[in-house]
Structure 1
Amino acid sequence: MSIAVLGPTFPNLAANVHRNVSDIYYIFVGRSLGYLGGSVLGGVLFDCMNAHLLLALSMFGTTVGLYGIPWCEKSLLLTALMSVIGASMGILDTGGNVLALNTWGEEAGPHMQALHFSFAAGAFVAPILAKMALGGSESKDLLAAERTNQSVPRSVPAASAASAMSVLKQHLRADFLWSYIVIGTYLLLVSFFFFVLYSRGRSARDKSKASLQKCMFAKYHYTLIFLLFIFFLCYVGAEVTYGSYIFTYAKVFAEMKENEAAALNSVFWGAFAACRGVAIFCATCLYPGTMILLSIVGSAISSSCLAFLARYPASLWAGTAVYGASMATIFPSGISWIEQYTVVEGKSASLFVIGAALGEMCIPAVVGYLQGRFHRVPVVMYTALVTSAMTILLFPLMYKLANCPRDGGLKEVSESEDRKALLSNSGLNEDEEDEEDAGEWNEADFEVIEMNDTLRNSVVETSRKIVGDSPVPVSLQPHLDNVLCESPAVAGGSPGRKNVSVDREKND
């Protein structure tokens, strides 16, 4: 919502700083640079501070920027606020992915799809909200200004013009101000809930999880992260490029009318958003790797049709819809997929977001430059085909590297450290500890305890008989306790048990 609201209100912002729309393009550059900086900063901060607090602060920073934008009358100040919003969005994108993986772990697939569906939902809602706030206000304000001009005597044209412009400016600010206030207030409410989560505090569990993850790095961890960085760069660049240039392509190459070209553009983004919504439910029954495979195959087939058969209207419409649907699930599925094979830390997630941001910045710029040089070549369609081919080549390579066996000496921890990491429970209270004991003991544990109890009873009865028959008192019980305490089956041999005392074992 914070990003998408800029489009419909862009003319109003330009008028607010006394510039033309074409003269304030640099606010997009400021926002993009802030986004990249926030992604890098977020990757570092998420590894050393509480995730809930950092997300709360980032959303609060976005709220401050949105509240201040309508009052900016200097282009430099407007660019600075756009950079603040971009940095907050970079931190939020990085932290949202990391927090989803840390919260749900291997079950994060549907939640990750829902997280990225919310991006599409916000981008859909924000223009509607801005349109409702602006709703025909520009024409009304222009009419009011014209009437003001007519009501002022001709002897004071300067005063009339100044008064008309003042009235127009006040009406425009009052109209688009509400869209920024509504979105900013919504983000302020969400940041408040993140502060509540931070106040509850779960740092002990986070530390326990971090110690557990130390033995889960893939053999080619850094190579996988770099390849996924390139993968996301190609994917997001192709997505933004096609969504940005399909309208122009439809008018120039397909010779469509303006309303038909707009409808084709809407088909792409509509299929994109709808497929992200459906993917929430598909992720509950499909593996992330399967969803990625279906997506890259669909994008390869549809981009091939668009590159070679786009002159046929039916192929153009169908290919656009399939291409939009195929691109929808790749990013969230990619993050869920890599988490199955290696640890996704804050720095790793920031690299994914940076790759996506660089693809969004660089590939559309290159396509625009080439399209200006080669007017008769459908550069947009060929770009979609090339990027689809890149993803087709990269994913099998990443899959091969991810499934390589780990080095025993470098990537695995010793048995005692492994047990300590797996069974660490220092930060939980007594009730939670009892619940986890009850939930994690398996049938083999109870069979061992039952067998030991049976052995103990039989030996004790035998010792009683011996004591009764023999005049010499014999005490076998201490020796039996020592034997049972030293038994590997009781002293932690089962991987699902915690190191508890013998007295507690007897009670259980």
Structure 2
Amino acid sequence: LFRQHWHHVITYCCVFADFGMCVAFLGPTVLDLGCLTSTDMQTMSLVFFSQLLCSLIGASMAGYLHHALSRSRCHANHILLVATSVIPMTVFLVPFCRTLWVLAIVLAVMGINMGTIDCLANLQMINLFGEKVPPFLQAMHFCYGLGAFISPMIVEPFLLNEDCTIFINNATSPGGEQISATGELIIPNNASDAFMPAHSLADAQLQTRVQYAFWIIAAVMLPVPLLVLSLSIRLRITGWKPGHHTLIESDSESSYSGASTNEYGGDEISNPWKQEDKAPKQLAFSHLVAVTALISFMLFLYDGLQSGYGAWVYSYAVKSIVDLNTTEGAYLNALFWGMFALGRLISIPLATRFSPVFMLLCNIVSILVNAMIIMVCLRHDHVALYVGTALFGIFLSSIAPTTISVGEAYIDLTSAITSIIVVMGAIGEMVFPVIIGNV
């Protein structure tokens, strides 16, 4: 089956890897971006809000556009092509932002396209494989984790890791350091420069090399729109016919109506896992609403936890854990996303052997036990932070795709329902980092 749909699977997996890279780069670079934009740490939480709020808007717009344009020549892959083309441009522009509001605008544009990718890539994969989607959905979300792991590793060598808040506030810092009238830090004679590489805001802005990290990430993302373009061209040549439509005809129809045509109405790319005579699931409206609400709440909660932890674990570790330096903080962030990717990789074969409900229950119980024992009781311990971060990443990793698979088993995930689910997850991703950043 993979050989028959390899182009689709590889394309959507690469698209989701781009999505993961965009989510993960803000956490490790927040200190350097604060220096570049002359913004203190607490105010920098607004850039997370800007990106994730617009990600929510993008997910909402994508679901509507997918349905509205389903009968036209403009297909979901064309929308994905635009989104994957815009994202590298915004990543390239980030280091040129020297004020907070300009950075917020650039990240807002990035967020809209991130939300578009989140909604449409999930929807396309579900439409392609139907009820047999779990392993492929896990594979796509593994690529999200892989992208999120790669991003901090690219960024780490270029970080200045300087908290410029004491320069910006031009006052006595909490540790007792004095700031001169020119904004320079007055360092005692016995102090070591190793702990304070910059002595003023201008010095920090000159020393940071974080722009190279963003340009490398943008370059890594460039082949993805070409891959989406190749898929669109292939499907148009082999399968698209005027007057045909996509698999989803309306919000009230099933996404898996048993049609043997492909996304463009052609029959060259068949789906052997879809049954020709399968009828839409007949459910009471109250049942449909209840399942949709439950799935949406799950994604709101766990996407929010994932986003909040990934965004702030670096800053928390550097500022709260004794003897943990800034390089270790970046590696801790990479550890979370690396274990996140590993968890999704492990979930691919598990999804073929266990039911989504069983996998979801195991993940939830494991997260609760890990959070209570390690992350709460031993939250200031160096080793416990590493162990807890690794376990948290593994058990949190497969909740989102597994939850979607659970929903697909009980209801037909149309474009409207998928948009609602993704939007609720985006709301969680937007709210949790802001709350954590202001606590």
TM-score range, shorter chain: 0.5 to 0.7
Q: Which residue of 2 aligns with 1:473?
A: none
Distance 1:180 1:232, change over 3 A: same
- Aligned to 2:355, which of 287, 290, 294? 287
Q: Distance in 1 between matches of 2:318 and 2:108?
A: 34
Q: Which residue of 2 aligns with 1:235?
A: 302
Q: Which residue of 2 aligns with 1:52?
A: 77
Q: Where in structure 2 are there 5+ consecutive unaligned residues?
A: 1-20, 70-74, 163-181, 183-199, 258-278
RMSD: 4.0
* TM-score normalised to structure 2 length: 0.65
Distance 1:189 1:308, change over 3 A: closer
Instruction: Confirm or deny that 1:122 pairs with 2:150.
Output: no
Instruction: Confirm or deny that 1:180 pairs with 2:214.
Output: yes
Q: Distance in 2 between matches of 1:247 and 1:131?
A: 11
Instruction: Confirm or deny that 1:70 pairs with 2:135.
Output: no
Q: Distance in 1 between matches of 2:233 and 2:318?
A: 55
Q: Which residue of 2 aligns with 1:189?
A: 223
SS in 1 for 2:359: helix
Instruction: Confirm or deny that 1:327 pairs with 2:396.
Output: yes
Q: Which residue of 2 aligns with 1:341?
A: 410
Structure 2 counterpart of 1:259, one-letter code: L
Kept after mapping to 1: 8 A contact 2:53/2:426: no
Instruction: Confirm or deny that 1:353 pairs with 2:422.
Output: yes
Structure 2 counterpart of 1:88, one-letter code: N
Q: Distance in 1 between matches of 2:373 and 2:203?
A: 53
Structure 2 counterpart of 1:85, one-letter code: M
Q: Distance in 2 between matches of 1:367 and 1:247?
A: 13
Distance 1:71 1:187, change over 3 A: same
Kept after mapping to 2: 8 A contact 1:295/1:327: yes
- Identity of counterpart residues, as a percentage? 25
Q: Distance in 2 between matches of 1:316 and 1:29?
A: 26
Distance apart, 1:14 and its partner CA = 3.9
Q: Which residue of 1 aligns with 2:233?
A: 199
Q: Which residue of 2 aligns with 1:225?
A: 292
Q: Distance in 1 between matches of 2:119 and 2:35?
A: 34
Q: Distance in 2 between matches of 1:43 and 1:100?
A: 14
Distance 1:268 1:184, change over 3 A: closer
Q: Which residue of 2 aligns with 1:272?
A: 340
Q: Distance in 2 between matches of 1:39 and 1:288?
A: 24
Q: Which has the higher helix share?
A: 1
* TM-score normalised to structure 1 length: 0.57
Q: Which residue of 2 aligns with 1:95?
A: 120
Distance 1:29 1:242, change over 3 A: closer
Q: Distance in 2 between matches of 1:169 and 1:26?
A: 20
Structure 2 counterpart of 1:289, one-letter code: V
Q: Where in structure 1 are there 5+ consecutive unaligned residues?
A: 139-156, 158-163, 373-508
Q: Which residue of 2 aligns with 1:104?
A: 129
Distance apart, 1:298 and its partner CA = 2.5
Instruction: Confirm or deny that 1:216 pairs with 2:280.
Output: yes
Q: Distance in 2 between matches of 1:24 and 1:363?
A: 14
Kept after mapping to 2: 8 A contact 1:309/1:316: no
Distance apart, 1:37 and its partner CA = 0.9
Q: Distance in 2 between matches of 1:22 and 1:364?
A: 11
Q: Computing the radius of gyration over CA atoms, which structure comes out larger, 1 or 2? A: 1
Structure 1 counterpart of 2:95, one-letter code: P
The size of the alignment, in residue pairs, is 341
Distance apart, 1:58 and its partner CA = 0.8
Distance apart, 1:7 and its partner CA = 3.5
Q: Distance in 1 between matches of 2:141 and 2:130?
A: 17
Distance 1:30 1:365, change over 3 A: closer
Distance apart, 1:11 and its partner CA = 4.2
- Aligned to 2:104, which of 59, 79, 90? 79
Kept after mapping to 2: 8 A contact 1:218/1:341: no
Distance 1:192 1:364, change over 3 A: closer
Bigger RCO (CA 8 Å, 6+ sep)? 2
Q: Distance in 2 between matches of 1:17 and 1:256?
A: 26
SS in 2 for 1:58: helix
Q: Which residue of 1 aligns with 2:46?
A: 26
Structure 2 counterpart of 1:286, one-letter code: F
